[in-house]
Structure 1
Amino acid sequence: MPAIYPFRAVQYHRGEGDVSKLVAPPYDVLDRAAKDKLLAHDQPNIVAIDLPHTPAKELGPVETYQAAGERYRAWLSNGTLSRRATPAIFAYRQTFAFQGAMHQRCGMACTLDAAPFGPRAGGGILPHEETFSGPKEDRFALMKATRAQLSPIFGLHADEKGKAVALIHEIMKSARPSLTAKMADDVLHEVWTIDDPARVKAYADALAGEDIFIADGHHRYTTGLNYIKHLESAGALPSDHPARRSMMVLVPMSDPGLVIGPTHRVLGGMKGYALDAFKSAASEHFSFREIAGDASALHAALVATPRNECHLGFYDVSSKRGLFGTPKSSDPLATRFASKPAAWRTLDVAIIQYLVVEAICQPKLNGGDAVKWAFPHSVDEVLEIARGHETGAGGGAGFAQLAVMVRPTPLSAVRDVSRAGELMPQKSTFFYPKLATGLFVNPLE
């Protein structure tokens, strides 16, 4: 893997204490109401910098980024934020409930050489999802204004010998956390600061030669690479310049708390959409059967299906009817994407993107025009969007016509598709919970 380093993080409270009212979820899961709620405590919450404008994930007015940069530097000047005197890495534990059970996910925050995506001797940085242009433009404008990486990239590594897991757990057992936070979702975030060079080296040695798989943060990692090019275009950039290093939280794939949730799709804006019209247009490719009950019943039926079979849950917003859709072919993308590996072609999310949307909805129900999307993670959020509300999942308000429910993408598929050099459609995975923003910031100057 690329070399890892401790870093002089920018933190609240000099890296100690309870920062519950100061940290925030990642910008891309927040809407205006969520931002306002975080700021209602009259505290200098990081969201005031990390989400300069709403809606998120698209380029906003220039002045909003300028204001974010000015606020960041003002907080550094007045002591709200401060930069560590000594470099460190940070053990990071999240304790959370998921599907009725408690879990703990453990990783390590550090910086890595920001290498271009792809395999390389000694380990590479491997993506698994395609990206959108809007979030990259937004994050690039914010990075230029703040000259900082405000939130960590979520990376996975194999840790086949368990050395990293053992070291992280040893650190967590040996001392109390230096930073803690709990937000509205009741996820407990705990951070241990490690500035002992021997322990930093032991952790780096444990990861030697491993690939890093990007779990979450493809747009932000790409933004960091673009920022390096931006600085290089202005003149020589030293090899040890802080911008050449990307802050990540690295989690072993064997961690028992590594949970992947679903990312459903809500489609809309189709001029010729009606449920019967959709069924007719899709009849060449899908068999349908109606599921009695509400959207929750449809999702429960979907989750109970065998993992090695493709099934999709279609929920019509207008009639509130649920349909089970099963492709008539076991490999419905084989003809169009013969060169792609089967691990990619049989992904539920790939079948939605390239069969349901691009081969059915766009040409047959929308005159070839693009379909509007949202990417909710729960049935409740699907229903919020169906009621016409904006939730932060994208798409705006009042556009929803058809929800497509999916099962979580398996971790094995993330690994196999990444190593094959392929990219899944956008928003194919949802690693729950998200990493908090504001526990540590990576200054790029």
Structure 2
Amino acid sequence: MATVLPFKGILYNPEIITDSADVTTPPYDVIPPGEQQAFHERHPNNVIRLILGQSTPADTPRDNPHTRSAAYFREWMTQGVLKQDDQPALYLKAITYAHGESSVTRYGLIARVGIEAFEKRIILPHEKTFSKVKSERLELLKATHCNYCPIFSLYPDEGFILGTLEAAVDKSQPAVDFTDEQGHRHRLWRIIDPAVHARVTAAMQDKRLFIADGHHRYETSLNFKKHLQATDPTFNDQHPANYVLMYLCSMSDPGLIILPAHRLVKGLGAEEMQKALNRSRAWFNIADYPFAADNRKTVEKQFLADLEQGVASQPIGIYTRHASVFHLLTLRSGVMEELFGGELDPALQQLDVTVLTRLLFMTILEFDQQRLDDATRFGYASTADKALAAIDSGDFDAAFILNPTRIEQVQEVAQKGLIMPRKSTYFYPKVRSGLVMNTLAE
């Protein structure tokens, strides 16, 4: 089913860039403005200039972050800062990071993957996207004709594919080896053996791929392909834009971690939130955790512990900047089936993000689709402390704290052809931008 192929990757030239930590970043959509500026200042060749360039009041259709990205890319290729490999390769990526008290390593294959419409059920999404984000990313792709960061996808595997890749790089030194600003160690190996390429490509042919992170970029690649089909008379089945750069991770990899995607919301006033809490009592049991300055940390710890322990009851925590109290909402048995059984599959009813979106946001707070699709109103945090801090700082008005979605839930939803609400998962760590790039130009 899936077409997974080697390609001539574009990498930073180690003769010029001695530390890849200086020039690579997380994906564009998890970089806040402060970090964006820091990456710009860290190195003149940092990939931030390609994936998330700075806007200016003087920007025009001919001079803007997207056109400047294309100019930087051409300049760096000419200067030799970026260099395309001479031979097609598959790239094995390892990231080692701390999780709890342990050190964990996750492996992924970076390859070129044939773009398929979702209707073919070869590459499967699991969550909705923001239309504005897709249009912005499409303009970048039109200007640059390059994948700067791979889409993070998952595949079912009993170990054959990863075992094949690991054996191919056994005891060899990685082409890239560095530690990033979070203390995560990144290693990357080139695999140029055609026999290994053939085994991996053959093994992937009966796989379905599940998009873990990068839905916007994948849909943008679909739209870019359609754009070229409509505007380029030379476009054919051999064009590079029939493919997209992907990072492929086995679903059984022990280093695959999903963190929560806590919701942060702007534009919720005290009166609106109080009315929502009152209405919520029809479907939730609500426990309140009031606190003062001297016992805030103790109360917060208990609140989060109770949230985690109540996972079977699909609990949702709420904290607003209008009151010194945490609220823990526990869903009553049978509510989702009673309210949405006629329109939502059981696999969706069992997701905490569905309870949040359909019951809290749409039914109780009466958010319409326009409000839900307004990316400027929403923020996301992968840890509870960051979510709560965003309320204390006044950046957002309310935080909705969730337990993480489980990998088996992602797989069930995707296999059924269903779609989760936006930002239902936060796969951790993210895949680094700038490690390997893929040109879409002929």
Q: TM-score under structure 2 normalisation?
A: 0.90
Aligned 8 A contact 2:8 2:86 in 1: yes
Following superposition, which runs of at least 4 residues in structure 1 exceed 4 angstroms of deviation? 14-17, 368-371
1:66 aligned counterpart, secondary structure:
helix
Q: CA deviation at 1:281?
A: 2.1
**Which residue of the partner structure matches residue 262 of structure 1?**
260
Paired amino acid for 1:408: P
- Rate the CA distance shift 1:341–1:163 in 2: closer, same or farther, 3 A: same
The CA deviation at 1:39 is: 2.4
Q: Distance in 1 between matches of 2:205 and 2:169?
A: 22
Structure 2 residue 417 is matched with structure 1 residue 421? yes
> 1:51 aligns to what?
52
Partner of 2:148: 150
Match of 1:395 in 2: none
The structure-2 alpha-carbon separation of the partners of 1:335 and 1:360, relative to structure 1 and needing over 3 Å to count, comes to closer
Give 3-state SS (helix, strand or coil) of 1:210's partner: coil
Query: Which AA in structure 1 matches 2:398?
Result: L
- The question of whether the paired residues in 2 share the 8 Å contact of 1:362 and 1:369 is answered with no
Identity %: 28
Q: Which residue of 1 aligns with 2:293?
A: none
- Partner amino acid, structure 1, of 2:387: V
SS at match of 1:313: strand
Amino acid at match of 2:129: T
Whether 1:7 aligns to 2:7 is yes
Aligned to 2:222: 225
Q: Could you tell me which runs of 5 or more consecutive residues in structure 2 were left unpaired when the two chains were aligned.
A: 291-297
1:106 alignment counterpart: 107
Amino acid at match of 2:38: K
Unaligned ranges ≥5, structure 1: 389-397
Q: What SS does the aligned partner of 2:271 have?
A: coil
Residue in structure 1 matched with residue 336 of structure 2 by the alignment: 332
Q: Which structure is higher in helix share?
A: 2
Counterparts in 2 of 1:61 and 1:131: CA distance versus 1, 3 Å: farther
Q: Tell me, what secondary structure is at the counterpart of 1:338?
A: coil
The answer as to 2:436 corresponding to 1:431 is no
Does the C-alpha gap of structure 1 residues 341 and 438 become closer, same or farther in structure 2, counting only changes over 3 Å? same
RMSD over aligned Cα atoms: 2.3
2-structure distance, mates of 1:111, 1:430: 23
For residue 322 of structure 1, the aligned residue among 321, 326, 334 is 326
CA offset at residue 97 of structure 1? 1.0
The answer to whether structure 1 residue 353 and structure 2 residue 357 are counterparts is: yes
Provide the C-alpha distance between the structure 2 equivalents of 1:54 and 1:436, rounded to a whole number of angstroms. Answer: 23
Separation in structure 1 between the aligned mates of residue 278 and residue 67 of structure 2, nearest angstrom: 51
Distance across 2 between alignment mates of 1:248 and 1:334: 40
C-alpha contact (below 8 Å) 2:169/2:191 kept by paired residues: no
Determine if contact 2:50/2:69 at 8 Å carries over to the other structure: yes
Q: Compared with structure 1, are the counterparts of its residues 327 and 309 closer, same or farther at alpha carbon in structure 2 (3 Å cutoff)? A: closer
Can you list the C-alpha shifts for 1:168-223, whole angstroms capped at 9, x where unaligned?
Answer: 33234331111123221111111000111011112222223010000001000111
Tell me which residue corresponds to 2:118.
117
* Residue 250 of structure 1, CA deviation: 0.6
Partner of 1:392: none
- In 1, Cα distance between the equivalents of 2:63 and 2:282? 48
Amino acid at match of 2:275: A
| Partners of 2:91 and 2:189 within 8 A in 1 | yes
Compute the displacement of 1:68 (Å): 1.2
Larger mean CA deviation between 78-87 and 222-231 belongs to 78-87
Q: Deviation of residue 138 (structure 1)?
A: 1.5
Which residue number corresponds to residue 277 of structure 1?
Answer: 275
Q: Supply the distance in 1 between the matched residues of 2:257 and 2:55 (Cα, whole angstroms).
A: 29
Q: Secondary structure at the match of 1:273?
A: helix
In the alignment, which of 289, 310, 322 is matched to residue 314 of structure 2? 310
